[in-house]
A and B are shown apart, each in its own frame.
Chain A
Amino acid sequence: MDLMRLENVGKRFDTISVLDGITMTVDEGQFIAVVGPSGCGKSTLLRIIAGLISPTTGQVLLAGRLLTGVNPETALVFQSFALLPWLTVQANVELGLEARRILVAERRRRAGFYIDKVGLEGYEEAYPRELSGGMRQRVGLARALAVEPKILLMDEPFSALDALTAISLRELVLDLWADPQVPVNACIMVTHIIEEAVELADRVLVLSTHPGRIVKEVEVTLPRPRDKRWPEFNEYVDQIFSLMA
């Protein structure tokens, strides 16, 4: 069954068409990657799914119902982490729970649970400026997971990190994705790095630019964890690369 469906979604900013004719489904249990050159509207697409931007044409259906306003089943992970520098790790992670009027004790418990899950146990009282980039993005992940979204959205989540940190964060995301204690049913990640999409996703949506259209959907059927040295891995990368070029 599909959790979400986009039907013929388009977005114009003034006279510029950013997205056009996007039709896609978000299925239960699927990790979707959206790849495309910069400026193809993939971040806009993610924000339409999150309900932060409304589409100019077409419609977004959430469990069969028309989505208006912010999508309550999603949580976002940002490229720049989007942490509040004046709040501790704990308070940053609790932010979404506070908005949902969850009682203090339960808030503490749940935030603590996800802080542990992302490997930041012991850093609850630290401030973001005291953390490395990788640790900050772990806070961003914990904050998104703490509201227990059905669909986790990630916008270039590893782009601001150095290569080694990005590797360990990708592993973390895969671990969380496989973890039965983490109730995320679907994941949508925007990236411009093809290898990253092939490593993580079950399905890769390839977007063209000006306007952004879905050129092709590629199903990645490799078992996890995937190794970049596998010949099949590279075949997927080559295939997607030729679709983008």
Chain B
Amino acid sequence: MARGKRPLEWVMAGAGIAIAGYLTWRAVDALIAAFSQPLPHDAVQIPFAILASLGRLTLAYLIALAWTVPLSIWIGENERVARIVTPIAEIGASIPATALFPLIVLFVIRIFGGMNAASVLLVLTGMQWYLLFNLIAGARAIPQELKEMAHSLRLPRWRYWQRVVLPALLPSLLTGSITGWGGGWNALIVSEYFVYNQKIYHVLGIGALLDRATYELGNGVLILLTLGAMVGIIILLNRLVWRRLYQWATRRYRFE
């Protein structure tokens, strides 16, 4: 058979290029039109909103670490605890985080009076299960002979955690962190802006800004800027922090 493309393929490829070109031209044209006007007033908030959202995610992450790390170590050392906790955690994880939000907001706003606390709590529900399940898998994958070795050398408990368990958990901790932060960003967008009974509750944050640009202001430029900033910061975090940490951990802290 002759090499090269048949006429029909040439026609289809040409049509595809023409359509793509037209769409690109329209998009660029619209962007130029949008950005040639003065920037929307709320755009100056973006850096602060990003910082505030990062603060919320970090706080939720620390809370998640504070309970998932000890629990998974306990589960890893105790088969009976594993049998009790695992099904409970599976039920908890299977409830979509966003479904809980109205409930959380009503309770937390009533009790603590703070939308910030509600927001962090929702980000936590979107983040913690990834950490928990990865850490449990990591803790249960610690080879039995390593546990026996530590036991027979009579390593004190905290020394055992320091020398054996925590290093062994590092790769799964990082996998859990990367997916957990993904889930956290996801929850963040709905967690910072909430409409209940025609009243809007919101905090300063990139998720809230995106929601306001969409639902209140209907400002395409602000939506694009907010999205761009969010995507930028997520990619930056992944490239500069998580990927490097993960590569370092899997190089150094993995069993052969």
A-to-B contact residues, CB < 8 Å: 47, 50-52, 70-72, 74-76, 78-80, 82, 84-87, 95-96, 98-100, 128-129, 143, 147
A147 in contact with B148 (CB, 8 Å) = no
List, in ascending order, chain B residues with CB within 8 A of A70's CB.
151-152, 154
- Closest 10 interchain pairs by CB? A96-B153, A82-B149, A82-B145, A99-B155, A86-B167, A78-B145, A76-B152, A99-B154, A86-B253, A80-B145
Specify the chain A residue showing the minimal Cβ separation from B149.
A82
List, in ascending order, chain B residues with CB within 8 A of A74's CB.
152
Contact among A76, A96, A129, A143 for B148, CB-based, below 8 A: A76
List, in ascending order, chain B residues with CB within 8 A of A72's CB.
154
A95-B163, A99-B159 known; A75 vs B153 contact (CB < 8 Å): yes
Min distance, Cβ A151 to any Cβ of chain B, angstroms: 12
Further contacts, 4 of them, CB under 8 A, given A84-B163, A95-B150, A96-B153: A70-B152, A70-B154, A72-B154, A128-B256
Which secondary structure dominates chain B's binding surface?
A: helix
A84-B167, A85-B254, A85-B255 known; A47 vs B155 contact (CB < 8 Å): no
Q: What's the Cα separation between A85 and B148 when bound, in Å? A: 16
A78 in contact with B149 (CB, 8 Å) = yes
- On chain B, the number of residues with a Cβ less than 8 Å from chain A's Cβ atoms is 21
Provide a sorted-by-A list of 26 A–B residue pairs whose CB atoms are within 8 angstroms.
Answer: A50-B148, A52-B152, A70-B151, A70-B154, A72-B154, A75-B152, A76-B149, A76-B152, A82-B143, A82-B146, A82-B148, A82-B149, A84-B146, A86-B167, A86-B252, A95-B150, A95-B155, A96-B153, A96-B155, A98-B163, A99-B154, A99-B155, A99-B156, A99-B159, A143-B153, A147-B153
Min distance, Cβ A215 to any Cβ of chain B, angstroms: 27
Cβ-based interface call for B164 (8 A): yes
List, in ascending order, chain A residues with CB within 8 A of B149's CB.
76, 78, 82
Which secondary structure dominates chain A's binding surface?
A: loop
Q: What's the Cα separation between A99 and B152 when bound, in Å? A: 11
Q: What's the Cα separation between A50 and B150 when bound, in Å? A: 12
Specify the chain B residue showing the minimal Cβ separation from A71.
B152
Q: What's the Cα separation between A93 and B152 when bound, in Å? A: 14
Specify the chain B residue showing the minimal Cβ separation from A91.
B163
Q: What's the Cα separation between A100 and B156 when bound, in Å? A: 9
Q: What's the Cα separation between A143 and B164 when bound, in Å? A: 15
List, in ascending order, chain A residues with CB within 8 A of B145's CB.
78-80, 82
B152 in contact with A87 (CB, 8 Å) = no
Specify the chain A residue showing the minimal Cβ separation from B170.
A86
Min distance, Cβ B153 to any Cβ of chain A, angstroms: 4
A85 in contact with B256 (CB, 8 Å) = yes
List, in ascending order, chain A residues with CB within 8 A of B164's CB.
84
**B47-67 with Cβ < 8 A to chain A:** none
Specify the chain B residue showing the minimal Cβ separation from A95.
B153
Encoded as 1 (CB less than 8 Å from any A CB) or 0, chain B from 131 to 155 comes to 0000000000001011011111111
Q: What's the Cα separation between A129 and B252 when bound, in Å? A: 9
List, in ascending order, chain B residues with CB within 8 A of A96's CB.
153-155
List, in ascending order, chain A residues with CB within 8 A of B252's CB.
85-86
List, in ascending order, chain B residues with CB within 8 A of A80's CB.
143, 145
Q: What's the Cα separation between A76 and B149 when bound, in Å? A: 7
Q: What's the Cα separation between A76 and B168 when bound, in Å? A: 21
A98 in contact with B159 (CB, 8 Å) = yes
Q: What's the Cα separation between A136 and B66 when bound, in Å? A: 36
List, in ascending order, chain B residues with CB within 8 A of A129's CB.
256
Min distance, Cβ A52 to any Cβ of chain B, angstroms: 6
Specify the chain B residue showing the minimal Cβ separation from A51.
B152
List, in ascending order, chain B residues with CB within 8 A of A79's CB.
145
List, in ascending order, chain A residues with CB within 8 A of B155's CB.
95-96, 98-99
Q: Which of A47, A75, A95, A143 has the most CB of B within 10 A?
A: A95
Specify the chain A residue showing the minimal Cβ separation from B156.
A99
Q: Which of B148, B150, B153, B155 has the most CB of A within 10 A?
A: B153
Q: Which of A72, A76, A143 has the most CB of B within 10 A?
A: A76
List, in ascending order, chain B residues with CB within 8 A of A82's CB.
143, 145-146, 148-149
**B89-132 with Cβ < 8 A to chain A:** none
A85 in contact with B154 (CB, 8 Å) = no
B153 in contact with A99 (CB, 8 Å) = yes
Specify the chain B residue showing the minimal Cβ separation from A53.
B148
Q: What's the Cα separation between A75 and B149 when bound, in Å? A: 9
Q: What's the Cα separation between A85 and B171 when bound, in Å? A: 13
Min distance, Cβ A79 to any Cβ of chain B, angstroms: 7
Min distance, Cβ A10 to any Cβ of chain B, angstroms: 21
